[in-house]
């Protein structure tokens, strides 16, 4: 018998995973033609995830694909966009200037404020930039993007991957992800998102014993004998353990080849665990190499030679020999230009071999050395968090610094750093409450709103610093106000002011928030006077941000009392002040959205959209935050009222894709989506959305579009044939509008409440409603919308056909298409009741025309039924239905986007061209692909070229 060498630890062919490889290769083929795919490979450590993905990437590379790969490590949990930045080669030293700019944004520490309440969440903005870069890569060649070890990835990397997973079906990209079983909820969300988007989830089980023997045979160039087979059974089908067991047996010279060609092992009971295997490998290495590897294990999975030289006090040239020995022993490998431990289990074995107290001391020492060398704060903080003792003020301040830098980019990672800093700080350390206050902000950014508000309350109750108490109180009150918990917000402000606040800026903001809360609660006090006084204080302070907010408060108070001209003047001034702010502050200021709302109330819907578009242009790429979602919902609201319902749905999808329960934007988005579904004859969809809003309100959440919510519920109840049900839905909101007051809510629901009150046999209420709307109209003689609403309400209350005819005449009629149809319907009913069936029929036909343009099939059916009962018919003309498929099925907005796709513009470029959000563009592209029956943008571009003809020239893709 002869000794046997182990010729390779990586077998030539993939063993035991042929079915999984076939499946992933099929996905590769689908992605190659432009229909992107995503796969999550899940399994325990050492089970072969990396090997399987490497095989797929190899196939992709052989076909000329671009390939980008990276793996997260433990330190990446606090490194914003760590793994994805590595994969896409984002660096200040990158050749591509776009990657350099993204790297600057990630590293923009000097541009961030020393506290978090004035800094917007930037994670989604940078995620969008990275997604746009991936789109650019895909335009030149298919892309295989691999990100391994999701269980260690930071939260911002997971945000990026969720975005990419949702978008990748439009592009020639294969996203390959690997993960161990984990209890991290954000990782599970990504896995569910991938599965929901049609992605493949591949669970790698242990190899069967036949595959284990096949793997051993490839490594040994011979079939294992009985004794060796018994040893291999102890690996439980884990490929890494098979490889390591055979490598250990070879190093100990225990393998021999029998006369029959089998490979056998001497009678020895080899340890199977990876830790003892690694320690055996170390036993044959020089002592200096072993010491170096043990030190490197403290630094992390990836070995940075400069850091290793720093902490060992040796020149990098001196490290060359020991590192070369580690590579030859296959403890360390080179991949992607980096040195790292061959497997994270090997790193773990070396790391765990240190006694816990020694590990802790080394982390502490290494953290201080890295801090002195100018290393990134997240690295310093990582080591100090693991090594510092309670009361270590230097570690506390490093954790605070790193948390402030990381939180806007990766909120969950930021909370971990800030929480550790707060835990380490002494109770009498003044920075402790500062950290806890910023931690409260970061918790809300990370979606843990209740935890953030609870911590803010603790700071308010415990801190002895008046200004810090005021700062935390203003932030807490703002959060509560945004979530509709108005009375609590008012109480927080009142208590903070009573306790005393020295900082003039914070004091004004607290007084302003208290006044807004009081106004919302209908507290009878001179709110307008208070708002004017606060504005004067803000003017003396000279802070444009505070002044703009005070102008918005005055604008809201004036609008709620029906003083639209004065409100418009102050709203425009608030916008001018906001536009002097840095983009980061301009984004979170409320001036543009509130002024756009006021323009909406004056029926200047296109001007309202222009105002929001101006904010997008001036502020640049918006972070995905409550402010950005608010813009999406505001745009959807304006498009809904203007009758552009398909465009509104695209904006609503963009908002709902990011927003979660707990914000007014989320509930408002559901309200308008429900309204469209209701009028288009989709009652189940409408019912589900309205039920979600009701639960949100019942749980203390916010819904600012209370008038539209009440109207949607009333219209849904109208079909029961009991108008009193609709009245019951609207009456509480009407009473609220009288109490607060909310003047413009009366204008929105007045004509409808009058109609249903009269139908329910309550003419007194109908007349009272009409009178209230008329008072508002007289106070605003230049507001055509108020005048039309007053005439409409009076005409309905008195069943006055002449008044209703006046409101549908071109010079006086309501401007909004849905309201126009309803007004025509009311006029037709009044004429029919008066015996004028022929003109009633014409008005019914006009109402149906308006409904038809909206696709409001339910309204058409309701109008026909209502007038049929009065003996009026609109004739047998069929509806002009938009086709559901083909080029003619595209809406104007979808066609506009398709034309730009045909010019090979990316989604970010289209969004910039049209001044809409990227998510809105993505939704339009997705809808267009579905209607045209295409699987990818590539097919869309080719089809557009065919429609454009061989001559080229100006592209016009309008349906023939």
Nearest to 66 by CA among 164, 208, 172: 172
Tell me which of 99-103, 113-117, 529-533, 536-540 is least confident.
Answer: 113-117
Quick one: pLDDT band at residue 483, thresholds 50, 70, 90? confident
Quick one: pLDDT band at residue 954, thresholds 50, 70, 90? very low
Tell me which of 78-82, 337-341, 575-579 is least confident.
Answer: 337-341
Beta bridge partners of 335: 338
808, 829 Cβ separation under 8 angstroms? no
Q: H or E stretch including 448?
A: none
Tell me which of 248-252, 296-300, 472-476 is least confident.
Answer: 248-252
The sheet with strand 302-303 has its strands ordered as 302-303, 338-341, 332-335
Q: Strand, helix or coil at 918?
A: helix
How many Å apart are CA 80 and CA 73, to the nearest integer?
12
How many Å apart are CA 370 and CA 359, to the nearest integer?
16
Nearest to 341 by CA among 352, 330, 354: 330
DSSP string for 514-543 = HHHHHHHHT--S-HHHHHHHHHHHHHHHT-
DSSP string for 177-203 = EEE-----HHHHHHHHHHHHTT-EEEE
Tell me which of 138-152, 181-195, 290-304, 621-635 is least confident.
Answer: 621-635
Q: Is the pLDDT of residue 191 over 90?
A: no
Burial class of residue 885, CB neighbours in 10 A (0-12, 13-18, 19+): exposed
pLDDT for the residue 171: 87
CB-hemisphere CA count at 13 Å for 715? 31
Choose between 917 and 44: higher pLDDT.
44
Q: Strand, helix or coil at 302?
A: strand
Burial class of residue 78, CB neighbours in 10 A (0-12, 13-18, 19+): buried
Q: Is the pLDDT of residue 276 over 90?
A: no
pLDDT in tens, 856-886: 999 999 999 999 998 888 754 444 556 778 8
Beta bridge partners of 338: 335
pLDDT for the residue 525: 64
pLDDT for the residue 286: 83
Dihedral (Cα; 672, 917, 851, 706), 10-degree rounding: 20
Q: Is the pLDDT of residue 502 over 50?
A: yes
Instruction: State the alpha helices, DSSP H only, in 388-430.
Output: 393-406, 411-424
pLDDT in tens, 881-935: 567 788 888 888 888 888 888 888 888 788 878 877 777 788 788 888 888 888 7
Region 325-352 average pLDDT: 81
pLDDT for the residue 514: 94
What's the CA angle centered on 522, arms 519 and 523, to 5 degrees?
Answer: 85
Instruction: State the alpha helices, DSSP H only, in 579-663.
Output: 583-588, 591-601, 605-619, 626-641, 645-656
How many Å apart are CA 770 and CA 798, to the nearest integer?
9
Q: Is the pLDDT of residue 745 over 50?
A: yes
377, 398 Cβ separation under 8 angstroms? yes
pLDDT for the residue 952: 41
In the chain, what is the straight-line distance between the N-terminal and C-terminal CA atoms, in Å?
Answer: 83
Region 714-737 average pLDDT: 90
Q: Which residue has the tokens 């608010």?
A: 630
Choose between 422 and 270: higher pLDDT.
422
Q: H or E stretch including 310?
A: helix 305-312
Who's near 922: CB < 8 A, 6+ residues apart? 166, 167, 170, 654, 907
Quick one: pLDDT band at residue 11, thresholds 50, 70, 90? low
Residue count (the chain): 960
919, 928 Cβ separation under 8 angstroms? no
How many Å apart are CA 6 and CA 216, to the nearest integer?
10
Tokens of 877: 């003309």
Average pLDDT, the chain: 85
Instruction: State the alpha helices, DSSP H only, in 329-376.
Output: 344-352, 356-372
Tell me which of 18-22, 667-671, 767-771, 872-876 is least confident.
Answer: 872-876
Percent of the chain clearing pLDDT 70 (strictly above): 90
Quick one: pLDDT band at residue 69, thresholds 50, 70, 90? very high
Tokens of 529: 């006077």
155, 412 Cβ separation under 8 angstroms? yes
Q: Is the pLDDT of residue 104 over 80?
A: yes
Dihedral (Cα; 919, 924, 929, 932), 10-degree rounding: 180
Q: What is the pTM of this model?
A: 0.71
Region 430-450 average pLDDT: 87
Region 536-551 average pLDDT: 95
pLDDT for the residue 510: 96
pLDDT for the residue 797: 95
Quick one: pLDDT band at residue 277, thresholds 50, 70, 90? low
Region 474-494 average pLDDT: 88
Who's near 540: CB < 8 A, 6+ residues apart? none
Region 97-104 average pLDDT: 91
Region 692-720 average pLDDT: 87
pLDDT in tens, 313-334: 998 888 888 888 888 877 888 8
Tokens of 602: 């004056």
Region 414-419 average pLDDT: 92
Region 214-229 average pLDDT: 88
Q: Is the pLDDT of residue 134 over 80?
A: yes
Q: Is the pLDDT of residue 110 over 50?
A: no
Q: Is the pLDDT of residue 662 over 80?
A: no
pLDDT in tens, 358-413: 999 999 999 999 999 988 888 899 899 899 999 999 999 999 998 888 888 888 88
Q: Is the pLDDT of residue 140 over 60?
A: yes
Q: Is the pLDDT of residue 252 over 60?
A: yes
Tokens of 893: 């907005």
b/e burial code for range 274-301 (CB count within 10 A of at least 16 → b) = beebbebbbeebeeebbebbebbbbbbb
Peptide bond connecting 676 to the previous residue in cis, omega within 30 degrees of 0: no
pLDDT for the residue 814: 74
Region 790-803 average pLDDT: 94
pLDDT for the residue 881: 58
Q: Is the pLDDT of residue 130 over 80?
A: yes
């Amino acid at each position: 018998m002869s000794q046997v060498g182990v010729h390779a630890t990586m077998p030539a062919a993939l063993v035991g995973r042929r079915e999984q490889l076939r499946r992933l290769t099929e996905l590769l083929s689908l992605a190659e033609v432009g229909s992107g795919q995503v796969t999550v490979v899940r399994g325990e450590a050492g089970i072969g995830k990396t090997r399987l993905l490497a095989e797929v990437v190899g196939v992709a590379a052989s076909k000329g694909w671009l390939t980008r790969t990276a793996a997260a490590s433990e330190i990446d949990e606090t490194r914003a966009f760590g793994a994805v930045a590595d994969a896409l080669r984002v660096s200040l030293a990158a050749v591509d200037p776009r990657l350099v700019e993204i790297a600057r944004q990630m590293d923009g520490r000097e541009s961030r404020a020393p506290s978090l309440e004035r800094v917007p969440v930037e994670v989604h903005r940078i995620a969008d930039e990275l997604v746009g870069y991936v789109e650019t890569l895909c335009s030149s060649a298919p892309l295989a993007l691999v990100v391994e070890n999701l269980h260690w990835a930071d939260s911002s990397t997971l945000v990026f991957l969720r975005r990419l997973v949702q978008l990748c079906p439009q592009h020639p990209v294969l996203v390959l992800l690997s993960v161990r079983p984990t209890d991290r909820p954000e990782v599970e969300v990504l896995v569910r998102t991938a599965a929901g988007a049609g992605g493949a989830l591949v669970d790698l089980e242990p190899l069967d014993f036949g595959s284990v023997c096949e793997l051993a045979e490839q490594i040994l160039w011979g079939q294992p004998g009985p004794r060796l087979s018994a040893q291999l059974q102890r690996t439980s089908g884990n490929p890494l353990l098979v490889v390591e067991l055979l490598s250990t047996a070879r190093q100990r010279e225990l393998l021999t080849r029998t006369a029959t060609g089998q490979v056998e092992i001497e009678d020895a009971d080899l340890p199977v665990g990876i830790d003892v295997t690694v320690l055996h490998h170390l036993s044959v290495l020089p002592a200096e190499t072993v010491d170096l590897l043990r030190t490197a294990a403290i630094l992390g999975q990836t070995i940075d030679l400069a850091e290793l030289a720093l902490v060992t006090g040796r020149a990098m040239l001196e490290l060359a020999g020991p590192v070369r020995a580690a590579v030859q022993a296959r403890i360390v490998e080179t991949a992607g230009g980096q040195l790292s431990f061959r497997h994270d289990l090997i790193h773990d074995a070396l790391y765990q071999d240190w006694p816990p107290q020694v590990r802790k001391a080394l982390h502490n020492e290494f953290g201080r050395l890295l801090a002195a060398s100018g290393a990134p704060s997240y690295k310093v903080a990582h080591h100090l968090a693991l090594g510092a003792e309670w009361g270590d003020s230097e570690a506390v301040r490093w954790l605070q610094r790193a948390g402030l830098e990381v939180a806007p980019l990766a909120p969950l990672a930021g909370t971990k750093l800030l929480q550790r800093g707060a835990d380490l700080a002494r109770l009498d350390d003044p920075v402790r409450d500062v950290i806890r206050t910023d931690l409260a902000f970061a918790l809300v950014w990370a979606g843990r709103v209740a935890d953030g508000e609870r911590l803010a309350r603790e700071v308010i109750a415990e801190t002895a610093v008046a200004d810090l108490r005021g700062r935390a109180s203003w932030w807490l009150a703002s959060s509560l106000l945004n979530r509709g918990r108005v009375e609590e917000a008012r109480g927080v402000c009142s208590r903070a002011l009573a306790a005393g606040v020295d900082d003039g800026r914070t004091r004004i903001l607290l007084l302003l928030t208290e006044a807004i809360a009081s106004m919302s609660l209908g507290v009878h006090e001179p709110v307008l006077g208070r708002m004017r006084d606060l504005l004067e204080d803000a003017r003396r302070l000279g802070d444009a941000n505070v002044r703009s907010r005070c102008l918005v408060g005055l604008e809201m108070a004036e609008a709620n009392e029906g003083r639209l001209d004065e409100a418009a003047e102050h709203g425009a001034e608030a916008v001018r002040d906001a536009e002097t702010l840095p983009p980061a502050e301009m984004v979170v200021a409320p001036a543009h959205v509130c002024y756009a709302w006021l323009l909406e109330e004056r029926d200047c819907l296109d001007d309202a959209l222009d105002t929001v578009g101006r904010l997008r242009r001036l502020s640049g790429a918006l972070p995905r935050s409550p402010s950005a979602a608010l813009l999406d919902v505001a745009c959807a609201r304006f498009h809904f009222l203007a009758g552009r319902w398909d465009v509104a749905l695209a904006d609503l999808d963009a908002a709902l894709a990011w927003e979660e329960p707990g914000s007014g934007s989320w509930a408002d988005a559901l309200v308008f989506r429900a309204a469209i579904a209701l009028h288009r004859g989709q009652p189940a969809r409408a019912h589900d959305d309205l039920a979600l809003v009701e639960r949100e309100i019942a749980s203390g959440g916010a819904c600012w579009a209370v008038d539209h919510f009440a109207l949607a519920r009333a219209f849904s109840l109208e079909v029961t044939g009991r108008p009193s049900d609709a009245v019951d839905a609207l009456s509480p909101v009407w009473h609220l509008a009288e109490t607060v007051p909310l003047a413009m809510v009366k204008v929105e629901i007045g004509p409808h409440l009058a109609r249903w009150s009269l139908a329910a046999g309550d003419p007194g209420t109908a007349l009272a409603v009409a009178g209230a709307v008329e008072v508002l109209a007289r106070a605003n003689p230049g507001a055509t919308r108020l005048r039309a609403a007053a005439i409409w309400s009076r005409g309905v209350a008195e069943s006055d056909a002449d008044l209703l005819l006046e409101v549908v005449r071109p010079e006086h009629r309501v401007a909004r298409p849905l309201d126009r149809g309803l007004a025509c319907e009311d006029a037709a009913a009044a004429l029919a009741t008066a015996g004028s069936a022929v003109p009633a029929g014409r008005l019914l036909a006009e109402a149906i025309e308006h409904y038809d343009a909206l696709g409001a099939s339910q309204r058409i059916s309701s109008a026909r039924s209502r007038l049929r009962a009065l003996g009026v018919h609109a004739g047998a003309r069929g509806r002009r239905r938009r086709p559901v498929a083909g080029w003619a099925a595209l809406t104007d907005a979808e066609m506009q986007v398709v034309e730009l796709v045909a010019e090979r513009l990316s989604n970010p470029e289209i969004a910039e061209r049209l001044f809409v959000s990227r998510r809105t563009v993505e939704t339009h592209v997705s809808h267009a692909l579905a209607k045209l029956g295409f699987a990818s943008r590539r097919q869309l571009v080719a089809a557009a070229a065919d429609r454009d003809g061989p001559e080229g020239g100006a592209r016009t893709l309008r349906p023939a």
